[in-house]
Amino acid sequence: MSYEPARADFGLPVRIDLYSDTHTRPSRAMKEAMLEAEMGDEQGGSDPTVWELCDRTAALLGKEAAMFMPSGTMCNQVAIATHCRPGDEILAHEDAHIQSSEAGGPGAISGVMIRGLAGERGIFSAKTLLGAVRPVSRYSPPQRLVEVEQTANKGGGACWTVDELRAVADVAHAHGMKVHMDGARVLNAAVALRVAASDVTASCDTVWVDFTKGLGAPLGAVLAGPRDFIGEAWRWKQRLGGSMRQGGMNAAACIYALEHNIDRLADDHRNAAALAQGMAQIPGITVETPETNLVFFDTTGTGLTAAEFASRLRPLGVTVSVSEAYRGRACTHLDVDAGQIEEAVAIMRRVVGG
């Protein structure tokens, strides 16, 4: 078995890329900001642009300190390794990215177990969490960490409200657990909920934000939390090979994204709503009403699997991703505009023969 990704068919251009918000390309203005970046040695602490990104992101998320990393996956793994010891248990939604999509990292790297909790749209209640709290005993694994995903990716891009987060964090803290937020799309949530990002993250001890999703940077994520936590997390970053050299060039792209690409996430949410409405009119397709920029749909009524639907779209220049046999995902971002959404809907209608 080879796990190397298949090479794209470069002769078959993608015109409307709804596969993922990770597919955005850096704009010319973002690349110009990268060219102008002051740089130093990131792992030695002498890159001023990386420090600026960390300070600005820590302030945005309302945390004391922050650390720049190559990816969101590494932020999750470093955070888990720093919070936990081997044998500990993490409580997370059963569809959480750390469970399904990080190659078993929590087990392989940190030796922890994840207990999956149920809940609609990727969100579990304080009551469900409380029901999973074990009495402390010599027999049970130490319950160390509660993990929440904002927005809940497989939950359809659903947002935890500030109140839902506070209720869950209160239960966690009352039982000696910390709360870690996988904030891959935390800024989508802040924009959709119309609250400050620091209010969304207030009840979480640690949080990271991805710059390669809707924010449109080519690389990077920032993990934030208490200063002593970030201080310890640095050792795990070093251990996993995540320390960088002239990181300022990438940090400059992320700073550009902070300055230009947050408020416009509302456009992506409007485009997602329009896409969902358009797709819902296609015979045989049912659509989950989006809260942010992810539109999940079911192809059962068309007689096509989600993979068949996706492969009929591909030669026509449209991509979507496949989540389950009959469940697919279309994602809006800064490289798709309202006109392309209309065009994509028309093409989808055509491929199902509607």
CB count within 10 Å of CB 4 equals: 5
Give min distance, CB of 284 to ligand PLP, in A.
28
Binding of ligand PLP by 145 (CB under 6 A): no
User: Mask: binding to ligand PLP, 202-221, rule CB under 6 A, as x and -?
Assistant: --------x-x--------x
Angle at 332 between CA 61 and CA 312, to 5 degrees: 145
Nearer to ligand PLP, 144 or 180 (CB): 180
Residue appearing with tokens 């750390």 = 98
Residues 286 and 307: beta-carbon distance below 8 Å: no
Residues 60 and 53: beta-carbon distance below 8 Å: no
Angle at 327 between CA 325 and CA 331, to 5 degrees: 135
Give min distance, CB of 21 to ligand PLP, in A.
9
Strands (E) across 174-299 are located at 178-183, 206-210, 221-225, 286-287, 294-298
User: Could you tell me whether strands 65-69 and 221-225 are parallel, antiparallel, or unpaired per DSSP bridges?
Assistant: antiparallel
Nearer to ligand PLP, 152 or 252 (CB): 152
Residues 153 and 21: beta-carbon distance below 8 Å: no
Instruction: Please give the structure tokens belonging to residue 230.
Output: 């970030």
Please count the residues of this chain forming the interface with ligand PLP, following the rule CB under 6 A.
11
Nearer to ligand PLP, 150 or 340 (CB): 150
User: Mask: binding to ligand PLP, 176-205, rule CB under 6 A, as x and -?
Assistant: ------x-x---------------------
Nearer to ligand PLP, 26 or 72 (CB): 72
* Position of minimal CB gap to ligand PLP: 72
Give min distance, CB of 122 to ligand PLP, in A.
9
B/e letters for 156-184, b = 16+ CB within 10 Å, e = fewer, are: bbbbbebebbebbbebbeeeebbbbbbbb
What is the identity of the amino acid at 154?
K
Give min distance, CB of 4 to ligand PLP, in A.
18
User: Mask: binding to ligand PLP, 149-168, rule CB under 6 A, as x and -?
Assistant: x---x---------------
CB count within 10 Å of CB 104 equals: 10
Instruction: Please give the structure tokens belonging to residue 2.
Output: 């080879």
| Cα separation, 37 vs 316, whole angstroms | 39
**Close Cβ partners of 3 (under 8 Å, ≥ 6 residues apart):** none
Residues 283 and 297: beta-carbon distance below 8 Å: no
Q: Give the footprint of ligand PLP on residues 19-58 (CB under 6 A).
A: none
Among 71, 125, 305, 321, binds ligand PLP (CB under 6 A): 71
Among 73, 82, 99, 143, binds ligand PLP (CB under 6 A): 73
Judged by DSSP in three states, 80 sits in helix
Among 26, 72, 157, 216, binds ligand PLP (CB under 6 A): 72
Query: Of the listed pieces 4-12, 59-67, 69-77, 156-164, which binds ligand PLP according to CB under 6 A?
Result: 69-77
Nearer to ligand PLP, 24 or 302 (CB): 24
Task: List the one residue out of 211, 209, 210, 182 whose CA is nearest residue 123.
Answer: 182
Task: Decide: residue 237, CB within 10 A, 0-12 exposed, 13-18 middle, 19+ buried.
Answer: buried
Query: Of the listed pieces 66-74, 108-116, 127-135, 234-242, which binds ligand PLP according to CB under 6 A?
Result: 66-74
Q: Give the footprint of ligand PLP on residues 86-105 (CB under 6 A).
A: 97
Nearer to ligand PLP, 21 or 267 (CB): 21
Q: Which residues bind ligand PLP (CB under 6 A)?
A: 71-73, 97, 149, 153, 182, 184, 210, 212, 221
